[in-house]
Amino acid sequence: MDKDTHNIPPGAAGATPRTAVVTGAGSGIGRATAQAFLAAGYRVVLAGRREAELQETAAGHPEALVVPTDVTVPDDVERLFAAAAGTFGRVDVLFNNAGVFGPTGSIDELSIEDWNRTLAVNVTGTMLCAAVAVRHMKAQTPRGGRIINNGSISAHTPRPLSAAYTATKHAVTGLTKSIDLDGRPYGITCGQIDIGNAATELLSGISSGQGALQANGTTSVEPSFPVEEAAAAVLFMASAPASANVRSLVVTASGMPFGGRG
């Protein structure tokens, strides 16, 4: 078997089905991406804390495996990837998507407990999942694989009163670069997608009602775009051949206050 066979698009003639692990798969971007992977012919391992929501995402698909997981718990993460490899034989893609927004407030208003909880999910959880995925990708035959980290446009520019979340997403960017560099000898690539205003239930208040707090102190309703398009972008990154890596991809709603002066 050629060393790049696991990166042939799943629908191609003679392709071996690839396995993707998606964290935070119970809702939002994670759910949409897991379903996009399934529709594209991947075997998909759905991870998240809420089993009922994961089962809703899976919707009885025969190539979906539900593994309730808290990404901040090392034993849970080990069990997740053991289940993926044990059921489907290998791990080809990790979409490191689980995350929380964390507390709202300026840096002097944040409690250490809220700060640590945000880092635990967004940074430590991302690190733990990547670490175990890399171990599997190094050991499997053919070895290699792809990790995609869900960053945020907050990895570029913060919203007001989001110090904890913004700090974690800058940290994810550093992790992405280091994982990609260290994975080179093993055929492991890592990229990051930074998404702005995908229309999920969690972000529904931004595109309706009062809107979102702006840098000038006002609130404004902002445009959004279908979450399925964010999922399609992740699938595009995952489906690149082993000889290519989408290192960084920014996808935002057209006209959202991100570039320029707002």
Task: Write the DSSP string, 78-135.
Answer: HHHHHHHHHHHS---EEEE--------B-GGG--HHHHHHHHIIIIIHHHHHHHHHHH
107-158 pLDDT, tens digit each = 999 999 999 999 999 999 999 999 999 999 999 999 999 999 999 999 999 9
Whole-angstrom Cα distance, residue 122 to residue 208? 26
Residue 13: the pLDDT is 41
Residue 10: the pLDDT is 52
Token output for 201: 């239930």
Q: How far is the CA of 180 from the CAs of 68, 98, 175, 191, in angstroms?
A: 27, 19, 8, 7
Whole-angstrom Cα distance, residue 227 to residue 29? 6
Q: Which of 165, 203, 230, 256 is flagged as catalytic?
A: 165
Please check whether residue 106 is in contact with residue 162, taking contact to mean a CB–CB distance below 8 angstroms: no
Give the residue-averaged pLDDT of 27-48: 98
- What residue type is 134 in one-letter code? V
Residues 6 or more apart whose Cβ sits within 8 Å of residue 243? 4
First-to-last C-alpha distance (Å) of the chain: 51
Give the residue-averaged pLDDT of 153-172: 96
Give the residue-averaged pLDDT of 96-117: 97
Highest mean pLDDT among 11-15, 70-74, 258-262: 70-74
Question: Active site includes 165?
Answer: yes
Token output for 111: 């409690």
Place 11 in a pLDDT band, splitting at 50, 70 and 90: very low
Residue 258: the pLDDT is 86
Please check whether residue 210 is in contact with residue 244, taking contact to mean a CB–CB distance below 8 angstroms: no
